[in-house]
Amino acid sequence: MEAVLSIEVILPLLFFIVAFVYSSVGMGGGSSYTAIMVISGMSTLVIPMVSLSLNLFVTTIGSYNYLRNSHGKVRIILPFLISAIPFAYVGGALNLPKEVFLWVLLISLILVAARIYLWKDTGFRLQLSQNQKIVISLIAGSILGLVAGIVGIGGGVYLVPLIIMLNLGTQKEAAAAGVVFVWVVSLSGLISRLQYNSIDLLDYVPLVLAVMAGGFLGSYLGSFKYSAKTMEKSLGVVILIAIIFLLKKII
């Protein structure tokens, strides 16, 4: 009984922190939501739907805060969305066996950890033509959309630095593009998943309220004041723990 109560208190708190930090830099936090749910032992059928739903709540608020401050640019986000939307829908429609799901999730989390700890912002920018940037954007959008639909990771953790590296916009514009991207692909993936499975979000009201509060506060401060990149690394610990737990389940 005490363990159940502890989980009911700890999970919303963790989700609030994740939503706050990730929304402050234009991300939904799906990678960390997924990691936390894996650690807590939730069903692999439920995890992507809950992650996508929470991503949707966080980035709805975040999109509003960034767009109302004129950081959002259609020219930046559109090429990514063109390919991401259909692939997120396809990913959500896939009924993968539990073992395959865990492998896809494991690889995704390893890449997220690598992105957080190894991909440092060195100011490096690719010198590409406009057509080359569009092609890379379309390819990246399709990959991120597919992963979002399958495991519920929105892709903002990759998209924001990629936009900077491609020299498509400023840090604030990249954050705005990231939060809008996660919102759209999460919606597409969730619509697809709900056609084949369903969950009762009322069972997850504490988590929804936690991410809404964290998402509002984080995106508000992020759109006005600061970037919380260094805080990402502390949340990366959750990802590393999830990787260890996943390896134990798979091997």
Per-residue pLDDT of the chain (251 residues; tens, 9 = 90+): 444 445 677 888 888 888 787 776 656 677 778 888 887 888 877 888 888 888 887 777 767 766 666 666 778 888 999 999 999 999 888 877 878 888 888 888 888 888 777 776 555 677 778 888 889 999 999 999 998 888 888 777 788 788 888 888 777 778 788 888 888 898 998 888 888 777 777 788 888 888 888 877 876 776 555 555 555 666 677 778 878 888 887 87
Give the chain's domain count: 1
Tokens of 49: 């739907």
Provide the terminal-to-terminal Cα distance of the chain, rounded to the nearest Å: 31
Distances (CA, A) of 39 to 12, 115, 243: 14, 21, 9
Distance, CA of 24 to CA of 170 (rounded, Å): 15
Domain extent, residue 132, equals 2-250
Instruction: With beta carbons less than 8 A apart as the criterion, state whether 199 and 49 touch.
Output: yes
Unique residue bearing structure tokens 């109560």: 5
What predicted TM-score, i.e. pTM, was given to this entire model? 0.77
Predicted pLDDT at 138: 93
